Amino acid sequence: MPPFRNRFRRNSLLSSEVLDRSRVLDTLVNNLDGMVYRCLNDERWKMIFVSEGCLRLCGYSAEEMVNDPAFSWNAVTHPEDRQRVHQVIGMAVAARQRFSVEYRIRTKNREIRWVTERGMPVPNEQGEWVIEGHIADITEQRAMIESLAQAEQRFRHIFENASEGIFQSTRSGRYLAANQSLARMYGYTSPDELIADLSDLDRRLYVDPNRRNEFLRQMKASGQVVNFESEVYRRDGSRFWISENAHEVWDAQGHFVCYEGTVQDISERKHYQQQLERQASHDLLTGLPNRTLLNDRLAQGLAKAARSGYYLGVVFIDLDNFKFINDGLGHSAGDELIKVVADRLRGCIGPADTVARLGGDEFVLVLNDHYRLITVINLLEKVLKAIGQPLILEGREFQVGASLGVSMFPGDGDDPANLLKCADIAMYEAKKRGRNNFQFFTQELNRLADDRLNLEAAMRVALEHDGFDVHFQPKMDGRRRMVGVEALARWHHPLLGAVGPDRFVPIAEETGLIMPLTMAILRRAFTAARRWNEGRAEPIQVAVNLSPVLFVGQDLVRRFTDVLEETGLSPACVEVEITETVFLGDKERAVSILEAFRALGVSLAMDDFGTGYSSLSYLRHFPLDVIKIDRSLVTGVENEEEVAMIAGAAISLGKRLRKRVVAEGVENQAQFEFLREQGCDEFQGYLLSRPVPEAEIDALLALESTELTNLVRNQRRLALF
């Protein structure tokens, strides 16, 4: 081949190599993330060359950045960062060194991005110094770094300010890290002081050294401990309880690093738990065994009595009139009374016996090792005498009694529940027999108790199905005209027959059924009274009895008002009858309720006047409109001088106090005439009418209306003559 051809071939190869290199460089530059640039070293950083990555970086094309004389990279740089960037690059150019700087730019669409710029000053083809470099978008990396920094700051804040202790420790029992809460919990002023001083945790921290071994055992078994409770020492030697939750920490290579976990002070919870455990077996107020421990003591006593052949006595004690003291003087006085009685009962029994409190004013004695019944009786008399000793409450002297019911093993039962039931039944019999006495259980008492339970269940069914009736006993004026009625609850059960109020009212009061029973009676009575008073010039007033038990609740007046509104009866047509026992509890509360009734517009009557010991003071101080002379002051007025004098004095007193006086139990004409002459306003009794159903009151009112019409006609005829 000719030489020139060889030379041409070599030059062609060289040219090809140069073109390939240029293409590769151009491809690399234009496909590189970010922007490669050359710019002048001036205030505006006028761009001479930029790679195509500029469009993705800042939204400007290469042509805009190089050819637009108004374009300035300095203007793209965020205003708050310009001075700093100029300073960094200016110092690098002056020193002919490389530089690296991070700052913000504002893209063409006004978006803010973070970039990192790396470059250096270089001489161009004419020997003038220019700047060449690369600018990359680091917005995402920056956000990630900031997020990590914020997360670390949050973790550090949680670690340092957590209310519970946080720690890292070695297997050997040395703390590597701790927060302020842990230091404070253990009695140190700072975490550093804790770490420097507290080591050898099994001996210096845990009260029981074996707890550290158990901690390590659980860690080895499962890699964690959960709710690990231990008693530990503070720096000053005092003790408290902690709960730990911790786990093992391993590095990326699988090497153990430390234990990491939290510590909580659970001393208060532990103390509360101990209190609960004691409360589970003891009464909080008196410290006596409660029902749970009583059953255990009873079971033990029965087993012992069965082995020895001795009697075991169970005594159910209920204080008499405790409710009135508790409500009248307040719960603090009631609690003080309970504690005094508990101490007195402790002093009555022997070391083998048990006194327990079931709640309220109920106590139980378990009497062991008695081989004669007389010794049980002697102890019961001792108990009654001890309880009856005077005591001071709220600066006043009181005496309380108690009703005691007694059941005996083996005669009355051989298990705790049955003996308690029998003693409870006997206690109710003691109350019926005048209180402040004791009664032994008999089968007759058991029968009566079963009847009582059956009656209570039947009452609940009757209330659900509107099974109670209302009878009305008329009240007449001196001319025997009906001016009012007294509403009386009546109950006729399909199987039990007629059940008197003397049987079902006490049960209603004891079981909480008195409120629904009263509301049912009021609803029936008010509905009838509203019908009777439609178009009537002189209203027929309906009197309703309210149990003293109702005055203990919070919403008596509201419920009463609801029934009035429901039935549409005017309060002026209603008379509320109470007895003086209403005032034996909280007098101020009773008066406030009565005043609320007065404000409502109803009349207030004192029933059974003359039977209590302080009725005169009630007439003077309490808001009463009517007094009802008890039938005990009416019976015999026609032929017994002393009775007549007392009845006359009571009527005179009522009239002088400007009260309306009603006589109950008027059974003959002589009584009626005497009471009318003494100034009695209204009369009620079998002479005038027995309690009758609603329909008979309708008939009486219709008859009265007819007689009145005939009387008016006769008067008109006489006037014509």
Domains of the chain: 32-139 (3.30.450.20), 162-271 (3.30.450.20), 282-441 (3.30.70.270), 462-704 (3.20.20.450)
Q: How far apart are the first and last CA of the chain?
A: 178
Residues 428-455, mean pLDDT to the nearest whole number: 80
Q: Please determine, for residue 288, whether its predicted confidence score (pLDDT) is greater than 50.
A: yes
Report the alpha-carbon angle 481-486-490, nearest 5.
130
Contact (Cβ atoms closer than 8 angstroms) between residue 387 and residue 344: yes
Q: Higher confidence at residue 153 or residue 4?
A: 153
Residues 705-721, mean pLDDT to the nearest whole number: 56
For residue 65, the model assigns a pLDDT of 92
For residue 687, the model assigns a pLDDT of 93
Q: Rounded to whole angstroms, how far apart are CA atoms 443 and 417?
A: 16
Contact (Cβ atoms closer than 8 angstroms) between residue 465 and residue 672: no
Task: Give the confidence band of 378 by pLDDT, cuts at 50, 70, 90.
Answer: confident
Structure tokens at 266: 């659970």
Give which of 140, 147, 120 is closest to 131, Cα–Cα.
120
Strand order through the sheet with 99-106: 47-50, 35-40, 129-137, 112-123, 99-106
For residue 585, the model assigns a pLDDT of 62
Q: Please determine, for residue 400, whether its predicted confidence score (pLDDT) is greater than 90.
A: no
> 620: buried, middle or exposed (CB in 10 Å: 19+, 13-18, 0-12)?
exposed
Q: Higher confidence at residue 466 or residue 587?
A: 466
For residue 118, the model assigns a pLDDT of 95
Q: Please determine, for residue 396, whether its predicted confidence score (pLDDT) is greater than 90.
A: no
For residue 720, the model assigns a pLDDT of 45
Task: Give the confidence band of 559 by pLDDT, cuts at 50, 70, 90.
Answer: very high
Give 343-372 pLDDT, tens digit per residue. Answer: 999 999 988 899 999 988 999 999 998 877
Give 642-671 pLDDT, tens digit per residue. Answer: 889 988 988 998 888 889 999 999 999 999
DSSP 536: -
Q: Higher confidence at residue 2 or residue 588?
A: 588
Return the CA Rg of the chain. 50
Q: Higher confidence at residue 712 or residue 317?
A: 317
Average pLDDT score over the chain = 87
Residues 458-467, mean pLDDT to the nearest whole number: 93
Task: Give the confidence band of 581 by pLDDT, cuts at 50, 70, 90.
Answer: confident
CA 404 to chain CA centroid, nearest Å: 35
Contact (Cβ atoms closer than 8 angstroms) between residue 651 and residue 678: yes
For residue 407, the model assigns a pLDDT of 92
SS3 409: strand
Q: Higher confidence at residue 116 or residue 512?
A: 116
For residue 715, the model assigns a pLDDT of 53
Give which of 671, 708, 698 is closest to 686, Cα–Cα.
671
Strands 112-123 vs 224-233: parallel, antiparallel or unpaired: unpaired
Q: Residue 217: count other Cβ atoms within 10 Å of its Cβ.
A: 12
For residue 617, the model assigns a pLDDT of 64
Give the rounded percent of residues in the chain with a pLDDT score beyond 70: 91
For residue 327, the model assigns a pLDDT of 74
Predicted TM-score (pTM) of this structure: 0.52
Task: Give the confidence band of 19 by pLDDT, cuts at 50, 70, 90.
Answer: very low
Structure tokens at 456: 């209570």
Per residue in 81-99, is it b (16+ CB within 10 Å) or e — as a string? Answer: beeebeebbeebbeeeeeb
Q: Please determine, for residue 34, whether its predicted confidence score (pLDDT) is greater than 60.
A: yes
For residue 11, the model assigns a pLDDT of 47
Q: Please determine, for residue 2, whether its predicted confidence score (pLDDT) is greater than 50.
A: no
Residues 535-559, mean pLDDT to the nearest whole number: 88
Q: Rounded to whole angstroms, how far apart are CA atoms 36 and 51?
A: 5
Residues 450-472, mean pLDDT to the nearest whole number: 90
Q: Rounded to whole angstroms, how far apart are CA atoms 634 and 611?
A: 12
For residue 134, the model assigns a pLDDT of 94
Worst-scoring range by mean pLDDT, 127-141, 271-285, 410-424? 271-285
Residues 216-234, mean pLDDT to the nearest whole number: 93
Q: Please determine, for residue 608, whether its predicted confidence score (pLDDT) is greater than 80.
A: yes
Give 295-318 pLDDT, tens digit per residue. Answer: 999 999 999 988 888 889 999 999
For residue 501, the model assigns a pLDDT of 93
Kind and range of the H or E element at 279? helix 267-279
